[in-house]
Structure 1
Amino acid sequence: MTTESASAPVGFIGLGKMGAPIARRLLDWPGGLTVCDVRAEVTEPFVAAGARSVLDPAQVATHARIICVTVVDDAQVTEVLTGPAGILRTAAPGTVVAVHSTIGDRTARELAARCAERDVEFVDAPVSGGAPGAMRGSLAVMIGGSAAAVDELSGPFGCFADLIVHAGPVGAGTRMKLARNLLHFISFTAAAEAQRLAEAAGIGLADLGKVVRHSDAVTGGPGAIMLRETTAPIDPDDFWFPILGHVRDLGEKDLALALELGDRLGIELPLAQLALTRLADGLGVAESALDKETS
């Protein structure tokens, strides 16, 4: 981060459930904060705390050199950037626009090209950690853009995030967020399946939830296995083979036991069945060392 970027004025567009707590972390930013939302009333607490409020994204761009956008979807992001009152109407060359909304990676690339025509730098910078993470300043930000933009943004992003990852060129931040949320929502679906099994077995769901949250906080949950650079099959001589082979063996045993319990209770567990058939291959240890030696 350069001395100039450490005091660059920041603009923030979109003060919804995620945008507002992120923007609040920027109220003390040395370069000042300009906010904008279609609902005038949500800007009032920011003005009371010292921020400037303006009516549209074009006015944000007259005051800010770094502009964060947290709106709902691709259409709104496109309107904020390229609409009649959009950022590109007034943005000065060298302005950096960071979109925290989760949009399509192709949309990100298309908007980056539009911005480049005006010498404005676009980055996709989706976040993970939810509103609680934003309030604590502990979000993860996944940036798709140039290394120079990452450096430019590190100061203001550091106000609301304690993990900033440069995922690659424009679009890469979005692709990383989609992979992360794939795990997130499949895990929710699996949690619902686990609750059905527990309920049928007479287990208290609230107590089960306590155990899951406690143990995931200790082990790291599903992310604990995301330590390799590739998903290719692991050679038996590799350091990771016995570690992930142990995960496979425990997983296959416990999944089989859960499926047997589900059969006895008349509960269908389609995700568990799929997990049993896919776990070993997914871990890269579908073939055991013994099998490989004797084949």
Structure 2
Amino acid sequence: MNSGIAHEPVGFIGLGNMGGPMAKRLVDWPGGLVVCDMRQEATQPFREAGAAVADSSKDVAATARVISITVLDDAQVRDVIAGPDGILQTAGPGTVIAVHSTISDETAVELGAECARQGVEFVDAPVSGGAPGAAKGALAVMVGGSATAYEAVREPFGCWANLVIHAGDVGSGTRMKLARNLLHFVSFTAAAEAQRLAEAAGLDITALGKVVRHSDAVTGGAGSIMLRNTTSEIAPDDFWYPIMTHVRNLGEKDLSLALGLGDRLGIDLPLARIALDRLGTGLGVGTNAATGQEHT
């Protein structure tokens, strides 16, 4: 552990469904923890556990070197950082402000510039894994900021995250989170489409859900194909070509069969049609005409 960081207090502002479990794992931080939340019932357990409780964001910044923020939206983040009682009122040079709320990447860049004018480091550091991941210390956190700021936050973040990624400059953490959540919620929409097909076929859709969760836990789900460092077309002599071609062939076959079932049952499957049309291209190996043209 970097003793310079470990012996500095860390701060946590916002102790809700995500912030509370994250901050709880910092109670034993060697340099001490100072927390802030508008609700006394949220701060009381931390006070009882030995953490300091601040009345405002600027009071947190008076002592903490690394300050995490988990509030609702862009407006609240701006107020916590730059408002009349905000962190920048008291933060000294070298303080690192970390925003875990999912905000606009433009807001992150603007706040980063505002902090820099006072010699304060800013990182946008959204998380993935939900409250259960926070409670287990098993979140993924995507850090957008300087290399210096990343080094400063790596150890305290490691108390509540078991994957800490340096995504790039300020704004990059948010952009990575938005890409990750695009996959998340498109997948939810696809899950709803799959349930409609299964229901129309007279199947138990709760049993289908069990199968999906079981098999995704084994295979890794959609993340299992996210292994290349580019989305460009794959050359036939590339290591990945036979792997992605195999995935495409299986996918196009199964999507075609699902669409055929949907046609017979009178169930429209628009996402499946898009997937059949774009799967091979997305994988970088093009469409297999033998299986990919039946329902485009």
Tell me if TM exceeds 0.5.
yes
Matches within 5 A, 1:86-235: 86-235=86-235
| Equivalence map 1:8-47=2 (5 Å) | 8-47=8-47
Letter in 1 for 2:66: I
1:292 aligned partner = none
The one-letter amino acid of 2:223's match is G
Counterparts of 1:131 and 1:18, CA distance in 2:
5
* Runs of 4 or more consecutive aligned structure 1 residues displaced over 6 Å after TM superposition: none
After superposition, what is the alpha-carbon deviation per residue over 1:184-233, rounded to whole angstroms, capped at 9, x for unaligned?
Answer: 00000100111111111111111111110111011000000001011011
Counterpart of 2:294 in structure 1 is: none
Q: Distance in 1 between the 2:267 and 2:39 partners?
A: 47
Shift of residue 2, structure 1, vs aligned partner: 3.0
Deviates more, 1:33-42 or 1:242-251: 33-42
- Deviation, 1:287, is 5.4
Unaligned segments of structure 1, at least 5 residues:
289-295
**Does structure 1 retain, via aligned residues, the 8 Å contact 2:96–2:122?**
yes
User: SS of the counterpart of 2:273?
Assistant: helix
| SS in structure 2 at match of 1:274 | helix
What TM-score results when the alignment is normalised by the length of structure 2? 0.96
**3-state SS in 2 of match to 1:255:** helix
Matches of residues 199-278 of structure 1 in structure 2 within 5 Å? 199-278=199-278
Summarize deviations over 1:154-186 as a string: whole Å, max 9, x none: 111110011111000000011000000000000
| Deviation at residue 76 of structure 1 after TM alignment | 0.7
Paired residue type of 1:28 = D
Supply the distance in 2 between the matched residues of 1:47 and 1:267 (Cα, whole angstroms). Answer: 56
For normalisation by structure 1, the TM-score amounts to: 0.96
Partners of 1:102 and 1:287 in 2: CA distance? 36
* Cα distance in 1 between the residues matched to 2:113 and 2:196: 48
CA distance in 1, matches of 2:237, 2:177: 33
Whole-angstrom distance in 1 between the partners of 2:81 and 2:136: 29
Q: Secondary structure at the match of 2:62?
A: helix
Rounded Cα–Cα distance in structure 2 between residues aligned with 1:22 and 1:130: 10
For 1:253, the aligned partner's letter is K
CA contact (8 A) 2:278 2:287 kept: no
Listed as ranges, the gaps of 5+ residues in structure 2 are 289-296
Instruction: State the superposition RMSD in angstroms.
Output: 1.2
Hey, what's the Cα distance between the residues in 2 that align with 1:130 and 1:58?
Answer: 28
